[in-house]
Structure 1
C-alpha cells in the first residue's frame, strides 16, 4: 500500500479551478466577455489566424519553388538574364489592401497570405511576380514610366497562367471565348494594376495606356517560345 498522502481538494482550490474553466470557456467562445476582454480576445484570434495563414502560405510557396514548372522555369530564366532570385526575398506577409501579391525591385516578391487561399492561386501569383522580376532584370523597367508599367503588367498577366482558359473558365463560369477571352482577361488585369500607378489619372487613362502598348507587349512572350492560351 502506498504511503503517499492523499491530496484533498478544498473549497478554495475548487473555486480557483472553476473560475479558470469559466475564463477559458469565455475566451474560446467569445461569450460574456467584458469590453477589455473582447479587445484582447479579438487580437489573440487575429494573431492566431494570421500566423496560420502565413504558415500555410509558406507551405504553398516551398512546394511551388520546388515543383511548379512555371516558377522554376522563370527562376532559371532570371538567372540566365543575369539576375538571381533569392528565396529569402519571396515573403508571405499579411497585406492591408486586398491583393494577392506584389513585386518591388529592391525588396523582391510579396505574397499576401491573408488573400491567397490555395496553392494554385499562389502559383499564379508567384509566376506573375517573377515575370516582373524577369522584365526588371532583362529589360531594365522604368517603374516610374506608366507605359513600362502597363507593358510588364500585360506580360505578367498573359505569361503567368492566371488568364489561362481553364483558370478563367472557373472564375467566370465559362462565359468567354478561347482567344479573345484570354486577351480580355489580360487587359482587365493590366488595367486594374495600372490604375494604381502614381501617374494614372483615372480608369479611362489606364485603359488608354494599356490599349496603346497592348499589341507589342502581348505578342512578346519572352522568355517563353509561346504560351498556352
Structure 2
C-alpha cells in the first residue's frame, strides 16, 4: 500500500468512526475541527481560482479594473482578498483595505463574478465621486448602481436564485430591494423606513447613471 492509499484509508477510518459514534468526545471535537479546516482550505482555493479566472477573462471585471485605474484607483489581486465571512453576504468594499470576497458564500463561479463586479463599482464610485460612505444618500446611490450594473438583478438570476418571475420592472425592483438592505446595514441608518426613504430619494438619478458603462448590459 503506497502513501496515498494509506492516507485515504486513515481518513476514511476516522470518518467511519465519527459517523458510527465510536470516538471519544475529545476525538470527535478534534475531528470536527479538522473537517472545518479542510472545508475552509477548499473554499479558499476555489475562491482564489475563480478570482484569478475573472481577472483574466471576465469582460465586466476586466473593464471595471481598467476604469478604476483611469480614475486613480489601485485595485489589484493584492487587495482583492478571499476570506470566510460570518455575516450572510458575498462580499464587501473598504476604501482603505480593498475588496473582500466571502469564500464560504459562493454557489458558483458566476456568483463570484457578479459579486466582484458589484464591489468594483463601489471602488470606482469611491475614486470617481469621492463617496462619503457615512452619508446615506451617497451610500444608497452607489448601492443602486452596483446592484444594477453588476448583473445581480438580471432576469435569470431572479428566476433561478429567488424564484421571482416578475418581468415588468423586475430589474428595478431587485435593485431597490438590494440597495435598501445594504443601506439599512449602515451604522448611520436608524430604521428600515429611513433606508427605504433614502433609496427612493436618489433612485431615479442613480439608476440612470450607468458610468463607466454606456448602458446596463449584464
For 2:85 and 2:33, how far apart are their aligned partners in 1?
16
Aligned 8 A contact 2:67 2:124 in 1 = yes
TM-score, normalised with respect to structure 1 = 0.86
Structure 2, unaligned stretches of length 5 or more? 1-8
Q: 1:37 to 1:149 in 2, by over 3 A?
A: same
- Residue 138 of structure 2: SS of its match in structure 1? helix
Shift of 1:119: 0.4
Residue 196 of structure 1 corresponds to 185
- For residues 196-215 of structure 1, the aligned pairs below 5 Å read 196-215=185-204
Residue 212 of structure 2 corresponds to 223
TM-score, normalised with respect to structure 2 = 0.90
Residue 5 of structure 2 corresponds to none
For 2:126 and 2:83, how far apart are their aligned partners in 1?
22
For 2:122 and 2:202, how far apart are their aligned partners in 1?
16
Aligned 8 A contact 1:53 1:114 in 2 = yes
Which entry has the higher C-alpha Rg, 1 or 2? Answer: 1
Alignment root-mean-square deviation, CA: 1.7
Structure 1, unaligned stretches of length 5 or more? 1-20
2:74 is the alignment partner of 1:91 = no
For 2:74 and 2:98, how far apart are their aligned partners in 1?
11
Deviations 1:144-193 (A, max 9, x none): 11111111000000011111122223223351114x10000000110111
Q: 1:74 to 1:40 in 2, by over 3 A?
A: same
- For residues 55-66 of structure 1, the aligned pairs below 5 Å read 55-66=45-56
Q: 1:23 to 1:46 in 2, by over 3 A?
A: closer
- Residue 187 of structure 2: SS of its match in structure 1? coil
